[in-house]
Amino acid sequence: MISSILNFILLSQNPGGNEGGGMSFLFMILLMIVVFYFFMIRPQTKKAKQQKNFRENLKKGDKIITIGGIHGKILEVKETTLIIQTEGEGRIKIEKSAAAVDASSQLDEQNALPQK
């Protein structure tokens, strides 16, 4: 199988070799695919995996920020939903997929920054 592929690649080139050849074209296509994978696909799947892990590990008492920008503290965790308490003692029922960021870690980062 491999020998037939190599024969095809080697025999498909012109014997003169002045026109650039098929090997360099094939190499450039493969290089573009590899670059596309490492710069586009891999980081996106890594980020999606982190988000999924974050949502699975939510527990009562965690402070979160939703994708809509609502800050709240988790009061109850169900299979697919969360009940959060917002400022002013308001309670909101949201989907787990709407939880975007752990607000307590974000507050820690803000406190670590030097004040002007």
* pLDDT recorded at residue 60: 93
* pLDDT(64) > 90: yes
* pLDDT recorded at residue 45: 94
- The residues spanned by each domain of the chain are 22-57, 59-112
pLDDT band at 104 (very low <50, low <70, confident <90, very high): confident
Say whether pTM exceeds 0.95. no
Tokens of 18: 């002045």
What average pLDDT does range 91-108 have in this prediction?
Answer: 84
| Mean pLDDT, the chain, whole residue set | 82
CATH no. for 59-112: 2.30.30.700
* pLDDT(116) > 60: no
Q: Give the full edge-to-edge strand order of the sheet including 71-77.
A: 91-95, 81-85, 71-77, 63-66, 99-102
* pLDDT(36) > 70: yes
